[in-house]
Structure formats: C-alpha cells, structure tokens
Amino acid sequence: MKSLYKEVIEACQKCLVDCRVCLTEMARRESVNDCPKCCIECMDACDVLIKMITSDSAYIKQYALLCAEICEYCADHCEEHNHNHCQACAKSCRECAEACMKLAA
C-alpha cells in the first residue's frame, strides 16, 4: 500500500475517533452551530474514504477532496467551542483535511 494511502487512513482513523468523542460529549451540551452534526458527517466521510482506499477505488481522489472539505467544515464549527474535546476534534479534522488534500492533488 502506498505510504500516502497509509498516512490518509491513519489521519481518517484519528479523525473518526476524535469526532466520536466530540459527538458523545456534545450530546449532553447545547450547541449554537453545526457541532455535533458536523461530527456525524465527518465520521461518515472518513469511513467512506478509508473504504475507497482499501478497495483501490478509481474515485479515491474525488472522495479525498470531498472528505477534506467536510473535515474543514467540521473543524470550523468545533473550533468555535472552548471545550477540550471540540478543540481536539478540530485539530484532527484539520490534519485529516491536509492529508486528504495531498492525496487529492
């Protein structure tokens, strides 16, 4: 497997975990933006990209571009909260988006 694929899969897995934690924590809190809804979309996007990479899809670059966009969207919303879990989620989302953009290029 290409090292870039491995890097993206690992970034997506970290993003999935941090989004799940954020979603779980935000379930008990009120949000004035799309957090935690964005976490659900981000987890789904990361999961699909991992599946596309591991199945050697012809559409990996397109999925990577979409995943990057969704991760950025999630990071934008989570960053607006001062909670540690939201900040960790935003950081993982940004790192995942960056890895996805490298793959999409």
Which amino acid is residue 65, in one-letter code?
L
CA 68 to the chain's CA centroid? 7
Is 93 exposed, middle or buried (CB count within 10 Å of its CB: 0-12, 13-18, 19+)?
buried
Element (H, E) at 79: none
Distance in angstroms between the alpha carbons of the first and the last residue of the chain: 18
pLDDT digits over 3-16, tens only? Answer: 989 999 999 999 99
pTM, two decimals, is: 0.92
Instruction: Tell me how long the chain is.
Output: 105
Tokens encoding 4: 């870039």
CATH number, domain of 80, equals: 1.20.1270.360
- How many structural domains is the chain composed of? 1
pLDDT digits over 65-100, tens only? Answer: 999 999 999 999 999 989 999 999 999 999 999 999
* pLDDT reading at 1 higher than 70: no
* Among the listed residues 46, 40, 35, the one whose alpha carbon sits nearest the alpha carbon of residue 82: 35
Percentage of the chain lying above the pLDDT 90 cut: 81
Rounded CA gap, 36 and 55, in Å?
Answer: 29
Tokens encoding 80: 């607006």
In terms of residue numbers, what domain contains 46?
3-104
